[in-house]
Amino acid sequence: MVITRFAPSPTGRLHVGNLRTAIHNWMLARQQNGRFLLRIDDTDAERSREEYVDSIREDLEWLGMTPDAEARQSDRFDMYEARFEALRAAERIYPAYETPQELDLKRKVLLGRGLPPVYDRAALALTDEARAKLKADGHRPHWRFRLDHSAAIEWDDMVRGPQRFDPEKISDPVIRRADGSWLYLLPSVIDDIDLGITHVVRGEDHVTNTAVQVQMFAAMGATPPRFAHEALLTGAEGKLSKRLGSLGIAHFREAGVEPVTLIALLARLGTSDPVEPVTSPEPLIETLDFSRFGRAPARFDEEDLTALNARIVHQLPYAAVADRLPATIGEAGWEAIRPNLARVADAADWWRIVEGPVDAPDPGEDADYLQQAADIAAGIDWSDDPWHALTTPLKESTGRKGKALFLPLRRALTGMDRGPDMAALLPLIGRDRAIERLSV
């Protein structure tokens, strides 16, 4: 069974950058009839907040992406400790005592010589006596995972294709701080093994992490999941601005963006498939194909999101929005005003045209024409097609056509120069209100 996971840190709210990977993990699980898990990466006790955990759950639920199960790293420290001790016994983990300042100096020296800033493994050369003295002097080690230099690190990435890394050109990663707290790399691998994760979709900024983690899986006798590293998002200005990178899902909810709009845009950004105004994620799930993901950065533009949202709103059936509309808007009303909406929340503003009152402009030289229209409106059959029953005799009696025929009527009936189709709107305005608005 395909099992994917979304693993946010609850140090802030979901934003477009991490939401995109959540969407793709969720879509893959649904496409393969698998399971989508939420893993709360809350090992950073100082920065993690329960309010962010709650907001992550709420955002996923609003999007219709409720996970099949949830795990929290803060509940799993005993498991990490056991794996840590096993790896230390196998000499795949070792203590290192350099201070951040010493490490920074080493990096600068290597870079100054034109060499890659790879950790020199000086800690491995320490004797037992040297370690004992450091301990006696009050120095607490941080811990590194010892990479195996005997063979290249390889995997077949679902987006990037075959990947190959030379482990000698990668520093042995720090996996645990001197205070005993965990960094991301090792706990994530332990969780993926324990939870049976089969596929991991994440940003390409994790590629080097993956190279390291592939060896961690092997060191614990496990097969790595399949990886898909997708290109990162950029903003309209070419770089993912701090503002865009921090835009929470609440921002889009408050702006009236439909959940399916966010999914429809983010699911296809960076792929060779077109962004389409779908009213359900199902077509996106069915066509998900990581071989169609490109390597170039994917551009996110709020204006594109707004335009897509309008196209989707224009297709939403009444049943999907009824609970968000004023009580007096029925299915016919929704279908009449829907083509003019950018968001569902705007429906109430357009509905005021129907229920009134409207602030019509002074009719000026069209006053007699509008009074004639009022007289005709009083005698037509309102049960079928009152708009054409009104405009056809007006055209014949006045010789008007086009804009001269229709615009004065629209202005008097709605107070606006443009808007919903009058053939659909006039029956909703009704006989009495129409006659009152046309009469001068």
E strands within 55-190?
69-72, 93-96, 142-145, 153-157, 161-165, 174-176
Residues 169 and 197 in one domain: no
Sorted by sequence, the CB contacts under 8 Å of residue 163 that are 6+ apart come out as: 153, 154, 155, 156, 157, 207, 210, 211
> What gap in Å lies between CA 40 and CA 2, rounded to an integer?
20
Residue type, 156: D
> What gap in Å lies between CA 416 and CA 413, rounded to an integer?
8
Residues 83 and 171 in one domain: yes
Residues 172 and 111 in one domain: yes
Residues 48 and 94 in one domain: no
Residues 207 and 160 in one domain: no
Residues 100 and 153 in one domain: yes
- Left, alpha or beta for 324 (phi > 0: left; psi -120 to 50: alpha)? alpha
Locate 188 and state its tokens.
Answer: 């994530």
Residues 85 and 141 in one domain: yes
Q: Which CA distances in Å does 357 have to 134, 376, 408?
A: 83, 22, 17
Instruction: Find the CATH number of the domain harbouring 399.
Output: 1.10.10.350
Whether residue 269 is contained in a domain is answered as no
Whether residue 403 is contained in a domain is answered as yes
Whether residue 203 is contained in a domain is answered as yes
Whether residue 267 is contained in a domain is answered as no
Sorted by sequence, the CB contacts under 8 Å of residue 127 that are 6+ apart come out as: none
Whether residue 306 is contained in a domain is answered as no
Q: Which CA distances in Å does 242 have to 48, 212, 235, 249?
A: 20, 28, 10, 15
User: Of the candidates 157, 176, 195, which is a domain's last residue?
Assistant: 176
Range of the domain at 332: 318-355
Whether residue 275 is contained in a domain is answered as no
Residues 22 and 162 in one domain: no
Residues 62 and 145 in one domain: no
Cβ atoms of 259 and 62 closer than 8 Å? yes
pLDDT tens for each residue of the chain, 440 residues long: 999 999 999 998 888 888 999 999 999 999 999 999 999 999 988 889 999 999 999 999 999 999 999 999 999 999 999 999 999 999 999 999 999 999 999 999 999 999 999 999 999 999 999 999 999 988 999 999 999 999 999 999 999 999 999 999 999 999 999 999 999 999 999 999 999 999 999 999 999 999 999 999 999 999 999 999 999 888 766 555 555 556 778 889 999 999 999 999 999 999 999 999 999 999 999 999 999 999 998 889 889 999 999 999 999 999 999 999 999 999 999 999 999 999 999 999 999 999 999 999 999 999 999 999 999 999 999 999 999 999 999 999 999 999 999 999 999 999 999 999 999 999 999 999 999 999 97
| Residue recorded with tokens 């996996």 | 175
Residues 87 and 168 in one domain: yes
Cβ atoms of 420 and 340 closer than 8 Å? yes
Residues 196 and 53 in one domain: yes
The closest alpha carbon to 84, from 43, 122, 48, 120, belongs to: 43
Instruction: Find the CATH number of the domain harbouring 160.
Output: 3.90.800.10
Instruction: Find the CATH number of the domain harbouring 44.
Output: 3.40.50.620
Known binding residues are 242
User: Of the candidates 355, 378, 402, which is a domain's last residue?
Assistant: 355
Known binding residues for ATP are 242
> What gap in Å lies between CA 153 and CA 189, rounded to an integer?
16
Exposed/middle/buried for 182, CB within 10 Å: 0-12, 13-18, 19+? buried
Number of domains the chain is built from: 4
Whether residue 17 is contained in a domain is answered as yes
Whether residue 108 is contained in a domain is answered as yes
Residues 65 and 197 in one domain: yes
